Structure 1
Amino acid sequence: MNRRQARRLRRRAVGVLVPALLLGGLAAPGSAADIPPQEPGVTLRSFDLQVPLTELCALKPGQTPNVDELKPVIDWHTTEDFGLTDHFLSQVIANIDIPEEGAYTFRLISDDGSRLLVDDQLVIDHDGLHSAEPKDGTVHLTPGHHPLRIDYFDNTAEQRLTLQWRPPGATGFTVVPNEVLSTDADVVRVTAPGQKECEGGLDTPGDGLPLDAVHPNYDLTDLRPAGFEPQVSALDWLPDDRLAVATWGGTDNVAGEVYLLDNVTGATGPDQVTHTRIAEGLNEPMGLAWADGALYVSEKHQLTRLVDTDGDEVTDIYETVAEWPYGGNFHEFAFGLLHADGSFYLNLSVAIDLGGATTDPQPAPDRGTTIRVDQETGEIDYLAGGLRTPHGIGWGPAGELFVTDNQGGWLPSSKLLHVERDRFFNHHTNPPGPFDDNPVTQPVLWLPQNEIGNSPSTPVHLTEGPFAGQLLIGDVTYGGLQRAYLEQVEGAYQGAVFRHTQGLEAGVTRVSVGPDGALYTGGLGAGGNWGQEGKLAHGLQKLTPNGGNAFDIHEMRATPDGFVLSYTQPLSQETADRLATAYQVDQWRYEPTADYGGPKLDQQTLQVTSAELSADRTEVTLTIEGLRTDRVVHVQSPRPFSSADGEPLWSTEAWYTLNALPAG
Structure 2
Amino acid sequence: MGESSSRGNRQRGEGSMTMFLSIIMSLAGLNSGLQEETPGVTIRIWDIGDSMMDVHPIEPGQLPNTVVVMPTLDLNGNDFHGHQDYFVLRADGSLVLAQPGVYEFKLISDDGSELWIAGKQVIDHGGLHSATAKTGRMALEAGTHPFQVKYFENTADAALKLEWKPPLASAFTVIPESNLRTRLDPDMPRSPGRKALVRPKLDRHPGHGSPLMGLHPRMSSKQHPLPNLDGAVTGMGWLDNGQMVLITDAGTLWAAGSQWATQKRYLWAMAEGLDDPGGLLVDGDDIWVIQREELTRLRDTDEDGRIDEFDAISTGWPVAGDDAGQARGLLAQGEDFLVLLGRARDAEGRPIGSEHRGTVLRISRDGSWDIIAEGLIEPEGFVQGMPDGVAYLDQAAAGGVAYLGGRQDAPHQSAVHLPEQGTSSSPSAAIMLSEGPWQGQLLVSDSGHGGLKRVQFDPHESGVQGCVFRATQGIGTQVDHVGVDPEGVIWAIGHDANGSFMCEVDLGLAPVLEIERVKAFANGLEVMFSESFDPAVAAEASSWHLRAADLHNPDEPSSVLQVDRVRLLAGGRRAFLEVSDLPSRSHLHLQLVGPWSGDSSDILHSNECWYTMRTVPSRIFTESANTIQPGHNMLTAREKAEGWKLLFDGESADHWRGFRKQELPTGWSVIDGAIVRTGSGGDIITREQFDDFELMLDWKVQPGGNSGIFYNVTEDGGAVYSTGPEMQVLDNKGHADGGSPLTSAGANYALHPPAWDTTGPPGTWNRARIVMDGDRVEHWLNGVLLLEYVLNSPDWERRVADSKFSGMPDYGRRTSGHIALQDHGDVVAFRNLKIRRLNSPSAASGAAE
Mark the runs of 5 or more structure 1 residues left unpaired by the alignment: 1-101, 115-124, 140-170, 174-197, 249-254, 426-439, 525-533, 592-597
- Percent identical pairs in the alignment equals 26
Query: How far apart in 1 are the matches of 2:28 and 2:277?
Result: 46
Match of 2:225, SS state, is coil
1:380 is aligned, of 369, 388, 399, to 369
Match of 1:450, SS state, is helix
- CA 541–380 in structure 1, closer or farther in 2 if over 3 Å, else same: same
What TM-score do the two structures reach when normalised by structure 1?
A: 0.62
- CA 558–306 in structure 1, closer or farther in 2 if over 3 Å, else same: same
Query: How far apart in 2 are the matches of 1:199 and 1:287?
Result: 46
Instruction: State the partner residue of 1:393.
Output: 382
1:416 is aligned, of 392, 401, 421, to 401
Instruction: State the partner residue of 1:435.
Output: none
2:318 is aligned, of 321, 325, 348, to 325
Q: Deviations over 1:176-201 (max 9, x none)?
A: xxxxxxxxxxxxxxxxxxxxxx9974
Query: How far apart in 2 are the matches of 1:605 and 1:385?
Result: 35
2:623 aligned with 1:634 = no
Please say if residues 537 and 594 of structure 2, whose CA atoms lie closer than 8 Å, have aligned partners that are also in contact.
no
Matching of residues 61-80 of structure 1 within 5 Å: none
What's the CA shift for 1:337?
Answer: 1.3
Please say if residues 418 and 444 of structure 1, whose CA atoms lie closer than 8 Å, have aligned partners that are also in contact.
yes
What's the CA shift for 1:127?
Answer: 4.6
What's the CA shift for 1:372?
Answer: 1.6
2:264 is aligned, of 248, 272, 281, to 272
2:302 aligned with 1:347 = no
Match of 1:451, SS state, is helix
Which amino acid counterpart does residue 319 of structure 2 have in structure 1? Answer: Y
Instruction: State the partner residue of 1:208.
Output: 209
- CA 645–421 in structure 1, closer or farther in 2 if over 3 Å, else same: closer
Match of 2:296, SS state, is strand
Please say if residues 505 and 536 of structure 1, whose CA atoms lie closer than 8 Å, have aligned partners that are also in contact.
no
Q: Deviations over 1:406-435 (max 9, x none)?
A: 13xxx4x7132111386223xxxxxxxxxx
Matching of residues 45-84 of structure 1 within 5 Å: none
Query: How far apart in 1 are the matches of 2:278 and 2:200?
Result: 35
What's the CA shift for 1:353?
Answer: 3.2
Which amino acid counterpart does residue 633 of structure 1 have in structure 2? Answer: L
Which amino acid counterpart does residue 404 of structure 1 have in structure 2? Answer: L
Instruction: State the partner residue of 2:561.
Output: 606
What's the CA shift for 1:604?
Answer: 1.1
Instruction: State the partner residue of 1:30.
Output: none
Please say if residues 393 and 403 of structure 1, whose CA atoms lie closer than 8 Å, have aligned partners that are also in contact.
yes
Instruction: State the partner residue of 1:256.
Output: 251
Instruction: State the partner residue of 2:220.
Output: 219
Query: How far apart in 1 are the matches of 2:230 and 2:302?
Result: 28
Please say if residues 640 and 648 of structure 1, whose CA atoms lie closer than 8 Å, have aligned partners that are also in contact.
yes
Instruction: State the partner residue of 1:520.
Output: 491
Which amino acid counterpart does residue 614 of structure 1 have in structure 2? Answer: L
- CA 549–239 in structure 1, closer or farther in 2 if over 3 Å, else same: farther
Instruction: State the partner residue of 1:549.
Output: 511
Larger RCO of the pair (alpha carbons < 8 Å, separation 6+): 1
Instruction: State the partner residue of 1:655.
Output: 610
Please say if residues 294 and 307 of structure 1, whose CA atoms lie closer than 8 Å, have aligned partners that are also in contact.
yes
2:275 aligned with 1:283 = yes
Q: Deviations over 1:450-476 (max 9, x none)?
A: 332321122211110011111122111
What TM-score do the two structures reach when normalised by structure 2?
A: 0.49
Match of 2:276, SS state, is coil
Query: How far apart in 1 are the matches of 2:208 and 2:286?
Result: 46
Which amino acid counterpart does residue 384 of structure 1 have in structure 2? Answer: A
1:130 is aligned, of 60, 67, 71, to 60
- CA 512–638 in structure 1, closer or farther in 2 if over 3 Å, else same: same
- CA 301–441 in structure 1, closer or farther in 2 if over 3 Å, else same: closer
Q: Deviations over 1:74-124 (max 9, x none)?
A: xxxxxxxxxxxxxxxxxxxxxxxxxxxx9997868486599xxxxxxxxxx
Instruction: State the partner residue of 1:587.
Output: 548
What's the CA shift for 1:270?
Answer: 7.1
Match of 2:542, SS state, is helix
What's the CA shift for 1:575?
Answer: 3.0
Q: Deviations over 1:266-321 (max 9, x none)?
A: xx897432422111112222211112422121122222222435442312343322
2:528 aligned with 1:566 = yes
Q: Deviations over 1:312-334 (max 9, x none)?
A: 23123433222232127898221
Query: How far apart in 1 are the matches of 2:28 and 2:276?
Result: 44
Query: How far apart in 2 are the matches of 1:624 and 1:270?
Result: 56
Instruction: State the partner residue of 2:139.
Output: none
Instruction: State the partner residue of 2:238.
Output: 237
- CA 330–372 in structure 1, closer or farther in 2 if over 3 Å, else same: closer
Query: How far apart in 2 are the matches of 1:288 and 1:544?
Result: 23
Matching of residues 173-192 of structure 1 within 5 Å: none
What's the CA shift for 1:394?
Answer: 1.8
Please say if residues 513 and 600 of structure 2, whose CA atoms lie closer than 8 Å, have aligned partners that are also in contact.
no
Query: How far apart in 2 are the matches of 1:567 and 1:269?
Result: 42
What's the CA shift for 1:208?
Answer: 0.8
What's the CA shift for 1:646?
Answer: 3.3
Which amino acid counterpart does residue 238 of structure 1 have in structure 2? Answer: L
Instruction: State the partner residue of 1:72.
Output: none
Instruction: State the partner residue of 1:464.
Output: 435
Instruction: State the partner residue of 1:575.
Output: 537
Match of 2:603, SS state, is coil
2:358 aligned with 1:358 = no
Please say if residues 402 and 416 of structure 2, whose CA atoms lie closer than 8 Å, have aligned partners that are also in contact.
yes
Mark the runs of 5 or more structure 2 residues left unpaired by the alignment: 1-11, 30-54, 64-91, 93-115, 121-143, 147-198, 621-849
Which amino acid counterpart does residue 298 of structure 1 have in structure 2? Answer: I
Instruction: State the partner residue of 2:290.
Output: 298
- CA 210–322 in structure 1, closer or farther in 2 if over 3 Å, else same: same
What's the CA shift for 1:206?
Answer: 0.7
What's the CA shift for 1:570?
Answer: 0.7
Query: How far apart in 2 are the matches of 1:269 and 1:611?
Result: 56
- CA 136–632 in structure 1, closer or farther in 2 if over 3 Å, else same: farther
Query: How far apart in 2 are the matches of 1:536 and 1:274?
Result: 16
Match of 2:562, SS state, is strand
What's the CA shift for 1:228?
Answer: 5.5
What's the CA shift for 1:573?
Answer: 5.2
- CA 420–628 in structure 1, closer or farther in 2 if over 3 Å, else same: closer
Structure possessing the higher radius of gyration over alpha carbons = 2
Which amino acid counterpart does residue 598 of structure 2 have in structure 1? Answer: S
Please say if residues 305 and 320 of structure 1, whose CA atoms lie closer than 8 Å, have aligned partners that are also in contact.
yes
- CA 658–199 in structure 1, closer or farther in 2 if over 3 Å, else same: farther
Query: How far apart in 2 are the matches of 1:295 and 1:614?
Result: 50
Match of 1:223, SS state, is strand
Matching of residues 21-32 of structure 1 within 5 Å: none
Match of 2:537, SS state, is helix
What's the CA shift for 1:659?
Answer: 2.2
Please say if residues 325 and 366 of structure 1, whose CA atoms lie closer than 8 Å, have aligned partners that are also in contact.
yes
Instruction: State the partner residue of 1:402.
Output: 391
Query: How far apart in 1 are the matches of 2:558 and 2:332?
Result: 42
Query: How far apart in 2 are the matches of 1:328 and 1:113?
Result: 53
2:360 aligned with 1:370 = yes
Q: Deviations over 1:184-229 (max 9, x none)?
A: xxxxxxxxxxxxxx99746221111111211111111113356667
Please say if residues 470 and 486 of structure 1, whose CA atoms lie closer than 8 Å, have aligned partners that are also in contact.
yes
- CA 201–640 in structure 1, closer or farther in 2 if over 3 Å, else same: farther
Match of 2:420, SS state, is coil
Query: How far apart in 2 are the matches of 1:615 and 1:448?
Result: 32
Query: How far apart in 1 are the matches of 2:206 and 2:298?
Result: 44
Which amino acid counterpart does residue 234 of structure 2 have in structure 1? Answer: S
Which amino acid counterpart does residue 572 of structure 1 have in structure 2? Answer: D
Please say if residues 566 and 619 of structure 1, whose CA atoms lie closer than 8 Å, have aligned partners that are also in contact.
yes
Which amino acid counterpart does residue 567 of structure 1 have in structure 2? Answer: F
